[in-house]
Amino acid sequence: MEKRGKMITRSRALLLIAFMATVTFAGYRLYSGLRQEKGAPPVKSSVNLLMEAMNIIKKRYVDEVDEKKLVKGAIDGMLSKLDPHSNYMPPEPYKEMKINMAGSFGGLGIEINIKDEKLTVISPIEDTPAWRAGIKPNDHIWKIDSRLTKGLTINQSVNLMRGEKGTKVTLHILREGQKSSLVFPLVRDIIKTKSMKSRTLVPGYGYIRISQFQERTGEDFANAIRNLHAENPSGLKGLVLDLRNNPGGLVDTAAQVADHFIGEGKDDGTIVTMKGRIPGARMNHYAKVGEKEPHYPIVVLINGGSASASEILAGALQDNGRAIIMGTQSYGKGSVQSVIPLRDGSGLKITTALYYTPKGRSIQARGITPDIIVGAKELARKGQGAEGEKKGDAADFREKDLINHLEGDKPGKSSVKPAKPVDVKAPAVPLPGEDTANDYQLSRALEMLKGLDVINLMAGARGGGQPAPAAAGKAAQ
C-alpha cells in the first residue's frame, strides 16, 4: 500500500512538470507572437508584401507593365520618403554625376531643386549659358521645351536640360514680380565650372570668389593666395572670401581652403565633424600643423545660395575666430550623401551623416548665421543714391522649406550661443573709385576690412592688443 502511494505521488509530480512545461512553452510562443505584432514587421514579410503588389500590378494593370520599370519606381519611392537628397540614380545619370564631380559636363549650368512641387532654381553657375542669360535664384522653371515640369523628378528635369554641346533647349520661367512667363532660348555648352576667381580690390586688399568646391579647388586657392601676395608686395591688409551662391561640392577641398587659416599654434584645428549611424560615417576633418597665412582680417560673404561645403568653410572660420561672416543666412544643407554603386551600373545616393561646426553647431535646416547681416542692394553708379533692397536675396527658400527635409539637432544641444546679428543700413552713396560700386555686400566687406586695419594700427601704436579679426570672431560666438 505504501509503495502504491509513492507511485501515485511520483506520477502526479511528472504530470505536473509536463503541464508546467507545456504552459511555459505556450506562454513563450504567445509572448513572442505579441512582440512580433507590436514591433516592426520582419523584412521578409515586407518584401513579400512588395512582391504581392508587383504581381497584382503585372496581372491586372490595364496595360502590360515592364518589370524593370516597376522595380526602379519602387526604389525611387523608397528613397523619396527619406529626405530630398537621397535618390536612385540610373546608369546614365550616375555616370554624369561622376563627370560633374570632375568639373565638366554638358548642360546649362543651373542648380535646381523642388519647392512646393515646383522646379525651382537654387542658383546659376557662373560663366554658363544660364548665368549669361540672366536666370536667377528662385526662378520657377515651369516648362522645358514643350515638356511641363509639374510632376517631374529632379533627375528627369536634369536629363531634359543636359545634352551635347551646341544643342538647343528653351526654358519657360515664372519669376516673382513678372506678370508673364519669361522665355530663355539657350544653347548647351560644356560646363567647366570654374571654381575660383581672384583679384586685388584696392592695394592691400584681396578678393577670392569660390563658386563651387571641385577637385582642383584646393590647389587653385593656394595659387590665388600666392598671386595676391605677389600683387601686393607690401603685404595683404585684408581678404574678402566670397561664398555667395556657392552650392557646395567636395568637402575635402573646402577643408583644404580652411587649412590655410586654421590650426596655428595648436596640435590641430577642427574644421568639420561628421556624425552618422554607422562607424564609417563618423569622422573629423582637422587642419594640418604647419605654416599658415598671416593673421590679416578676413570677411566671408554668404547668402541663401551658400550651401553644404561653403557652409562648412564659413562655420569653421567663424568658430575658430578667424573670420567675420557677413551677408544673409545660408541655405542650411548640413547632410552628407554617399553614392553606393549597384550591379547594373546605377547608384543609390543616400544621406549617411550630418555636418557639425567645430563648436558642435548643426548646419542642417539652420545654416550659418552671419555675424553682420547685410542684405543684397545694388549701388547706383556716378554718385547716385543706393537702390532699394532686392527681393529674394540669392534664394528665398532654403533646406528647411524642402519636403521631408532632415531636422538638425534640437536647439539647446550645443553650448555655443550664436551671435546677435547686426543689421547694417545702406549708405547714401557708393564708395567712390573702387571696383565695388555695383555690389553693396562687397563694398561693405571692404569697408569692414579697412576699419579693422585702422583698429590694428591703433592697437599697435599703443603697444598691445589682439589682432582685430580674431577678437571680432571670438566675440561673435
| Whether residue 333 lies in the annotated active site | yes
440 touches 386 (CB < 8 A): yes
Residues whose CB falls within 8 Å of the CB of residue 365, separated by 6 or more in sequence, listed in order: 332, 334, 398, 399, 400, 405, 406, 407, 408
Of 472, 454, 460, the residue nearest 204 (C-alpha)? 454
C-alpha 297/C-alpha 197 separation (Å) is 19
Phi (first) and psi of residue 228, to 5 degrees? -65, -40
- 172 is written with which cell numbers? 519657360
The number of CA neighbours under 13 Å toward the Cβ of 296 is 19
| Whether residue 308 lies in the annotated active site | yes
> What are all long-range contacts of 166-172, with beta carbons under 8 Å and residues at least 24 apart?
169/108, 169/144, 169/145, 170/144, 170/145, 171/108, 171/130, 171/135, 171/141, 171/143, 171/144, 172/141, 172/142, 172/143, 172/144
Q: How far is CA 245 from the centre of its chain?
A: 11
Alpha carbon distances (Å) from 271 to 168, 209, 243, 295, 309: 43, 20, 17, 18, 11
Strand partners for 175 = none
Of 467, 207, 183, 141, the residue nearest 322 (C-alpha)? 467
Residues whose CB falls within 8 Å of the CB of residue 477, separated by 6 or more in sequence, listed in order: 318, 319, 321, 359, 416, 417, 418, 419
Q: 194, 237, 333, 377: which is the annotated catalytic residue?
A: 333
Q: 189, 220, 319, 393: which is the annotated catalytic residue?
A: 319
C-alpha 341/C-alpha 129 separation (Å) is 31
| Whether residue 68 lies in the annotated active site | no
Residues whose CB falls within 8 Å of the CB of residue 253, separated by 6 or more in sequence, listed in order: 213, 214, 215, 216, 217, 218, 309
DSSP-derived letter for residue 213 is B
Q: 198, 308, 346, 443: which is the annotated catalytic residue?
A: 308
Catalytic center residues: 308, 319, 333
